[in-house]
Amino acid sequence: MKNNLALRIEEASLNAWTPFQQLLYDGWILRFAEAYTKRANSVNPIFESSIDLNKKINFCEELFTSKNLQSVFRLNSFSKTNELEEILIQRNYEFLHRTSVQFIELENLDLTSSPKIRNTQNLDEWISVFEDLSGGTTRLNSIHKKLIENIPLKKNLMILEDSGKVVSCGLGVLEDDFIGIFDVVTHQSFRKKGFGRMIVNNLMSWGKIHGAKISYLQVMTHNLAAWSLYEKIGFKEIYNYWYRVK
């Protein structure tokens, strides 16, 4: 049962972060998005293989090289990838960025919306806010904008203002019973004031109103501040993933 939920959340999270190109290859999903985030530019082994693993890895490496991209494999804790990872280690693929995928059931959750938060359909405005809050570059945020435009699912962009200043933002993506929480960022001068929690609560409230029963998110295990926030809200890990990078 847990593995079924993990797989369903994995599918929803992949759909919520749609790359510009995608290839299905013998149980693996190869994703390409001009090098913006490893999630959108990696090999994702979801199902078991029938082709020789070394042959498959060679194919992936050649394809990523042809697109001027680093070869990246995104491995998760519920798929059977031990043999693949051993081969990647032998090929000098380095371990990077363990990430916890967490979920919470919404049915009995008290989700009071904050009047400080507004929804916007103006993606240019939201991207500008995200860039200011996160310190991103114009080039990367241009790709980020295209990725969000590329999401085929219902989505909500939120901005939080306090005393006339924009201090936090976030993105929610809805698919059936699931509301995914992405790109929650608070200006470094306004952290530890509850603004991140307000954004998350509002996104979950919006999702619940539109039929979501479960919310999920992804947090890198070394991000202790975010980990603490999500733990206080009640999120629990369902699985984790990590990268092997050549």
pLDDT classification of 49: cutoffs 50, 70, 90:
confident
d(CA 179, CA 12): 9
Per mean pLDDT, which of 18-32, 113-127, 134-148, 223-237 is the most reliable?
18-32
Torsion of Cα atoms, 203 then 208 then 214 then 218, to 10°: -10
In the chain, what are the domains?
2-7+19-100 (no CATH), 108-212 (3.40.630.30)
Q: Which residues contact 111 (CB under 8 A, 6 or more apart)?
A: 201, 202, 204, 205, 208
pLDDT classification of 2: cutoffs 50, 70, 90:
low
The count of C-alpha atoms lying within 13 angstroms of the C-alpha of 116, restricted to the half-sphere facing its C-beta, is 17
Tokens of 151: 């999401």
Nearest to 215, CA basis, from 175, 184, 185, 156? 175
Q: Which amino acid is at 218?
A: Q
Angle, in degrees to the nearest 10, between helices 138-149 and 123-134: 140
Nearest to 24, CA basis, from 47, 5, 7, 40? 47
d(CA 74, CA 97): 10
Across the chain, what does the average pLDDT equal? 93
d(CA 218, CA 59): 29
d(CA 176, CA 163): 36
Classify residue 234 as left (phi > 0), alpha (psi -120 to 50) or beta: left
State how beta strands 214-220 and 21-25 pair: unpaired
- Percent of the chain beyond pLDDT 70? 98
d(CA 14, CA 236): 19
pTM: 0.93
Beta-bridged to residue 204, according to DSSP, are: none
d(CA 120, CA 143): 19
d(CA 201, CA 181): 10
Beta-bridged to residue 240, according to DSSP, are: 100
Q: pLDDT tens digits, residue range 7-47?
A: 999 999 999 999 999 999 999 999 999 999 999 999 999 88
How many residues can be counted in the chain?
246
